[in-house]
Amino acid sequence: MTNPSLSNPIAEANPTMPLDFSYLPTSPLYGQQSAEDNVLGWQLSPAPFTLTVAQLEDLQTLGKILTKFIKAIDTLYKQSQNPNLPTPDWIAGLYDQGKPDSLKQLASLKRLKSQMPLVLRPDLLLKKDGWTLCEIDAVPGGLGFIAALNRFYRQNGFPVIESSQGLPGAFLNMLKALTPDHPQPFIAIVLSDEAGDYRAEMSWLVETIQQGTDLLPAYPHIALIHPKEIDLVRDQLVFQNPATGQEQPIDVIYRFFELFDLPNIPKIELIQYAVKKGLVKCTPPFKPHVEEKLSLALLHHPVLADFWTKELGQADFQQLQHWVPQGWIVDPTPLPPQAVIANLTPGGKVIQDFQQLKTLSQKERELVLKPSGFSPLGWGSRGVTIGHDHSSDSWGQQLDTALASFGQTPYILQKFEAADVLPAQRLEMATGEIRDFQARVRICPYYLVENDQVTLAGVLATACPADKKLIHGMKDAVLTPCQVK
């Protein structure tokens, strides 16, 4: 990957071009604030984050590699279930830990065989020697958020990175492509209570598609609904459409809920029945194994090098290994006395048991511990422990939790990689002042897949104060789309 230049601040404001705030959403797009709250919900930048043409080309390449990687994970899981193939059988068992039988059976349906997540958002930490990929989210928040920011800065004259019809248009076309014989399917964005913090941004996105934009004709056949609104009538999934007052048949579902939360989702059995019977198209598919972080650790497993090379190609496999920090699955199973954990040598120490990590010094604990997935702690920054940011006792307690959770929610350990510190700017909306600060930056490209073609629909930059080790959409962060110069 091309080395990103850190000489560009997050914003290069032109004081002669004041921003027109009328293009901003009229209410917060994240969290549970009411529409009456006169707050934006994030810190504003005077201009988009600037990427080079080479960096944009790198992001476009990354999208193609990640779609191959997700397909390869699915292949790895399926081959591991086949005793006639050389793929180790422990892999499927690892992915299946903690999953209910009903979900594993749904994931194995032939009807879902070729279905993959259609929206991918990796988290990239910006560094002097390249970018570090620490997460891949297949059910990402931020779709409405980056779409709104793209529109705001585009209307203010900035060349933001987006698809030709904007993210709303790319998102709509992606979902419509699931029903090639039905050019105007009715699309339901089904969002659960657990994902309630994202309801405002997804509502904005749906309303934007319904009403149309300067880049997209109006498309009224889409709605944001709660799972409890769904019913099954005459072998058709439906909901009461407030726009018409009639039962509205649903053709496509965009699943905005995590699979660990299925027991808490009303009417989920109706959705799953409709998927099994082919009555509705649903994306992302009910395939928990393609949403686990442990795949990032398996990418570095020496036993699987030949598999990844075959599925990804030598060049893409090596490139992905370069982007993804070295990782390990935290397994309490004792090793033979002559065995060691491959490539885990903090401070030059050979490790035979994860319990040994409790004795590491603070400097040696430059490691990240996180649940793999299928857990309320498995998304956002929940459940993430940075070793050198904790006391020895606290670090030991977190390790004990991870080891005890193995049979239900496996944890992974990754080498800690810090984003580099660079200058950034914040715009004070009330006064128009531009304030400088030191920041660490995360880049989140949003990839949408339509008929196997990958579209880079938007790129979100999050600049957090430099003293923060975890970079996410906190209230002190500046969030902005990216542009190319």
Instruction: Give buried/exposed letters for 438-448 (b at 16+ CB in 10 A, else e).
Output: ebbbbbbbbbb
SS3 181: coil
Is the bond leading into 284 cis (omega within 30 degrees of zero)? yes
Q: Is 21 strand, coil or helix? A: helix
Q: So what's the pLDDT on residue 28?
A: 76
* Between 466 and 68, residue with greater pLDDT: 68
Pairing state of beta strands 187-191 and 222-225? parallel
Residue by residue, DSSP assigns 32-95 as: S--TT----SSBBPSSPEEE-HHHHHHHHHHHHHHHHHHHHHHHHHHHHT-TTSSS-THHHHHH
Sheet with 246-249: strands ordered across: 230-232, 237-241, 246-249
Give residue-wise pLDDT tens across range 52-103: 888 899 999 999 999 999 999 999 999 999 999 999 999 999 999 999 999 9
- Residue 484's DSSP bridge partners are 51
**Tens digit of each residue's pLDDT (9 = 90 or more) over 324-353:** 999 999 999 999 999 999 999 999 999 999
| pLDDT above 60 (res 315) | yes
- CA atoms within 13 Å, Cβ hemisphere of 319: 17
Average pLDDT, integer, range 243-271? 95
**pLDDT tens column, 363-416:** 999 999 999 998 887 766 678 999 999 999 999 999 999 999 999 999 999 999
Q: Domain ranges in the chain?
A: 1-325+417-485, 326-415
The span from the CA of 321 to the CA of 232, in Å, is 46
Q: Tell me the DSSP string of 298-343.
A: HTT-GGGHHHHHHHH-HHHHHHHHHHSPPEEEE--PPPPTT---TT
Distance, in Å, from the CA atom of 165 to the CA atom of 158, rounded to the nearest integer, reads: 16
Q: How far is CA 283 from CA 12, 35, 118, 272, in A?
A: 38, 30, 7, 12
The secondary structure of the chain in percent helix, strand, coil, rounded to multiples of 5, reads 35, 25, 45
What is the distance between the alpha carbons of residues 372 and 294, in angstroms, rounded to a whole number? 5
92-105 pLDDT, tens per residue?
999 999 999 999 99
pTM equals 0.93
3-state secondary structure of 136: strand
Q: Taking the mean position of all CA atoms in its chain, how far away is CA 170? A: 17
Q: Are strands 367-371 and 411-415 parallel, antiparallel or unpaired?
A: antiparallel
Band the pLDDT of 302: cuts 50, 70, 90.
Answer: very high
Which residue has 């990175």 as its token pair? Answer: 161
